[in-house]
Amino acid sequence: MKASTKTLTATLMTTAGLAVAASGAMAEKWDMPMAYSASNFHSATGAEFAKCVTTGTQGEIEIVTHPGGSLFKGADIKRAIQTGQAPIGERLLSGHQNENPIFGVDSVPFLATSFDDAAKLWKAAKPTLEQILADQNLTLLYSVPWPPQGLYFKKEVNSVADMEGIKFRSYNNATARLAELTKMLPVSIEAAEISQAFATGVADAMVSSGSTGYDRKVWESLTHFYEVDAWLPRNYTMVNSDVWAGTSDANKAIIKACAELAEYAGTWRAVEYTTFTLNGLRDGGMVVGPAGDQLKADLKEIGAVMSAEWLESAGEGGKAIIDSFNAMK
């Protein structure tokens, strides 16, 4: 992953320009809702994917991205695509863990804490997730990881005991459970609402990547970021399966090629963005660094509890994924 952003963009657009679309088809506009701000690397990757498809199909399919929850809020995106309100969209994978525990495989604490391990875990889980999505009238196109998750606070925190009573932003089952086990108070807040939530005191802490904090300038409200590398959650882009079935084979091939490039480019961005955004948090005035020994030990105990709970809820399907992942290590 040593290409530059410009090179990746050029590759996407060159591939799109060389693609040959089927002729005579009626032009379609595909609105693509996305939960994160336009400046976020996931949204930037999605915008390039959209251009790749639009150019590659010679305008037969025009994908228009709607970042920042402007078309549908994050929690509503998947349902909107399932029901045909939007043909395509991007969503946080673990945001659906309440539907099926397998959706939360990427958020099992301290299971996959590096980009290499996250890639192996995705490879192990992808076939099962594709089948689950297919049963929900959805077709997976591509997935991109976030940088490793750390803990944000409005004060210095040296142990789990220091977290008690803090209002904590949750965005999936794992983060809500983390709050419960640390005696924090979970508050469900979408990505687009983070800045306002911290500014108004609705929340005072969260677990997220450096990129989310950087994009939302959380240093205006928060003071500390602890690098705990809890997990690397993923966003994924899906298309309504009925819409996909009605797409020509030629255009399907173009979309798949653009999706493959988007997954590569987005993952490269995630790696590069990790150091860049942590430096950005420091420049904003935050204290950024590894968690202390006591906090690490406390979190390890909590991680063991959450891992066991996930395995129990995910059943044989979850165990098979973990066994496959461990075999790759």
List all residues 6 or more positions away from 151 whose beta carbon is below 8 Å from its beta carbon. 157, 205, 206, 207, 225, 226, 228, 230, 291
Which H or E element spans position 306?
helix 293-328
CA–CA gap between residue 74 and residue 315 (Å, rounded)? 27
How many Cβ atoms sit within 10 Å of the Cβ of residue 315?
11
Domains in the chain: ranges and CATH = 5-146+234-275 (3.40.190.170), 150-230+284-328 (3.40.190.170)
Cα angle value 3/13/78 (rounded, 5°): 95
Handedness of CA 294, 298, 301, 307 (dihedral sign): negative
Q: Assign 58 to helix, strand or coil.
A: coil
CA–CA gap between residue 155 and residue 158 (Å, rounded)? 10
Digit-coded pLDDT (tens) for 247-262: 999 999 999 999 999 9
Is pLDDT at 271 greater than 70 in this prediction? yes
- pLDDT reported for residue 138: 98
Confidence bin at 1 (pLDDT 50/70/90): very low
User: Dmax over Cα atoms in the chain, in whole Å?
Assistant: 65
Handedness of CA 45, 49, 55, 60 (dihedral sign): negative
CA–CA gap between residue 236 and residue 148 (Å, rounded)? 17
List all residues 6 or more positions away from 107 whose beta carbon is below 8 Å from its beta carbon. 94, 97, 172, 173, 174, 175, 231, 233
What is the pTM for the complete model shown?
A: 0.88
What one-letter code names the amino acid at 3? Answer: A
Q: Which two tokens stand for residue 59?
A: 């305008």
Digit-coded pLDDT (tens) for 112-123: 999 999 999 999
Q: Which two tokens stand for residue 239?
A: 């298309």
Radius of gyration, CA atoms only, the chain = 20
Handedness of CA 305, 307, 308, 309 (dihedral sign): positive
What one-letter code names the amino acid at 59? Answer: G
Cα angle value 52/257/47 (rounded, 5°): 30
Digit-coded pLDDT (tens) for 11-37: 555 554 444 434 445 789 999 999 999
List all residues 6 or more positions away from 316 whose beta carbon is below 8 Å from its beta carbon. none
Digit-coded pLDDT (tens) for 100-157: 999 999 999 999 999 999 999 999 999 999 999 999 999 999 999 999 999 999 999 9
Cα angle value 187/125/85 (rounded, 5°): 60
Is pLDDT at 268 greater than 50 in this prediction? yes
Beta strands in the chain (DSSP E): 28-33, 61-66, 88-92, 138-145, 150-153, 167-170, 185-188, 205-208, 224-227, 234-240, 287-290
